[in-house]
Every structure is written in structure tokens, then in C-alpha cells.
Amino acid sequence: MESVYHREDGVYLIEIKLRELRQLFNSLDPAPFHEKDLDEDAEYYIVEALREIGLNRPAKLVVYLPASLIDSDDVRTLPIAMRNYFAYRADRARRDLRHVLGEGGIALAVGLAFLFACLTLRRLVGEAGSGILAEGLLIIGWVAMWRPLQIFLYDWWPIRRHRAILEAITRLPVEVRPRP
């Protein structure tokens, strides 16, 4: 599948056209410029663009601004601000992944303990002759394993994939060009 993004010298361009630089950042964030949060829509666009282009293809982020703004201090520090923001988001995704896997470990311990208790009760109930109750205990014991299995088989992959994209964005060259 071919990307719809323009290529220049074999490099895919993720292009953002702005009237002013502050459009790129969250207006409610009081942090200094090089530590500001990106606007949610801008972040989504950049992440989805790189996801579509692919992590193995060369890409570059190109920000178009009016020529009168190109020589400002904020524009010169834009690559640093972008790297800082996406490095922060990648670190947050790493922490989210660690949290999900920790939650999975706890869920696994609880699930196994509950399964063991159900299997023990099943053996006692089975000896008493109640087949329906014994089968119910077996089923409910395995159902208790649903959440840990879901976490370890499925839930962590999207977080890991998102983190890889964020880390790749921190390595993207950022270029500011005058708006045509």
C-alpha cells in the first residue's frame, strides 16, 4: 500500500501548514515554549501520518509558517520542543505499558488462586456427587483467568506499538519552511 504523503528525495513529508506557531501547541499549557504540550489534533495528525507511512520508511516533519516568523527564537527551538514533547509521550507510554503488565501480574496471581480454589472445591463437591456444581466451579475458575489472559495476549500490544511510533517521531528531522 502506497502512502498518500508527498515524497521529496525519497523522504516522506509530514506537512503542517500554520498561520502562526502557537497553533501547533496547547494554548492552555503555561509551560515555557520548548516544554509545551502539542495540540491534540496536531499530535494525532503526526502520529497517524507516521503510522500510515510506516516506521521503516524515511520521513521528515515539515512545518510551513509565514516568512515573517521563520527567524524567531521559538521557530529555531521548534525541533527541540517537538523532540521533548514526543520523548515525554513515549516515556508515558512506557510507564503505561509497565502499569498494564503489572496489573496483568496481579490479575494472574488472583486468577490462579481463584482457579486453584475452584478446582479444590470442585474435587470436594465431585466427591459429594453434584456434577452440575462441580462443572460450574470448573467453568467459573477458568472464567477468572479471562482478564490476565486478555492483558498478556492482547492489551499490551497497542501500547507497545504506540510507544514505538512516539519514539520514532522523536528521531524525525523537523524542518521549518516559509509558507508558499
Q: Are residues 58 and 113 in the same domain?
A: no
Q: Are residues 67 and 120 in the same domain?
A: no
Q: What is the pLDDT of residues 92-145, one digit of tens each?
A: 999 999 999 999 999 999 999 999 999 999 988 877 777 888 899 999 999 999
Q: Are residues 31 and 47 in the same domain?
A: yes
Identify whether 30 is part of a domain. yes
pLDDT in the model for residue 39:
86
Q: Are residues 84 and 99 in the same domain?
A: no
pLDDT in the model for residue 104:
97
- Residue 73: which pLDDT band, with cuts at 50, 70 and 90? confident
Q: Are residues 75 and 114 in the same domain?
A: no
Q: Are residues 77 and 134 in the same domain?
A: no
Burial class (CB in 10 A: 0-12, 13-18, 19+), 68: exposed
Q: What is the pLDDT of residues 3-18, one digit of tens each?
A: 467 889 999 999 999 8
Q: Are residues 72 and 131 in the same domain?
A: no
pLDDT in the model for residue 2:
44
pLDDT in the model for residue 3:
45
Asked if pLDDT for residue 61 goes beyond 80, the answer is yes
Q: Taking Cα atoms as reference points, which of 73, 41, 64, 57 lies closest to residue 5?
A: 57
Q: Are residues 84 and 116 in the same domain?
A: no
| DSSP secondary structure, the chain, as one string | ---SS-EETTEEEEEEE-SSGGGGB-TT--S-GGGPPBPHHHHHHHHHHHHHH-TTS-EEEEEEE-GGGTTSHHHHTHHHHHHHHHHHHHHHHHHHHHHHHHHHHHHHHHHHHHHHHHHHHHHHHHHHT-HHHHHHHHHHHHHTTHHHHHIIIIIHHHHHHHHHHHHHHHTS-EEEEE--
- Residue 64: which pLDDT band, with cuts at 50, 70 and 90? very high
Q: Are residues 85 and 107 in the same domain?
A: no
CA distance 116 to 120: 6
Q: Which domain holds residue 28?
A: 7-90+171-178
Choice between 180 and 39, residue whose per-residue pLDDT is larger: 39
Identify whether 137 is part of a domain. yes
Identify whether 1 is part of a domain. no
Asked if pLDDT for residue 31 goes beyond 70, the answer is no
pLDDT in the model for residue 151:
96
Asked if pLDDT for residue 30 goes beyond 70, the answer is no
Tally of domains within the chain: 2
Q: Are residues 114 and 149 in the same domain?
A: yes
Which residues make beta-bridge pairs with 38? 25
Q: Are residues 119 and 83 in the same domain?
A: no
Identify whether 2 is part of a domain. no
Identify whether 27 is part of a domain. yes
pLDDT in the model for residue 127:
72
pLDDT in the model for residue 74:
83
Mean pLDDT of the chain: 89
pLDDT in the model for residue 1:
34
Q: Are residues 133 and 154 in the same domain?
A: yes
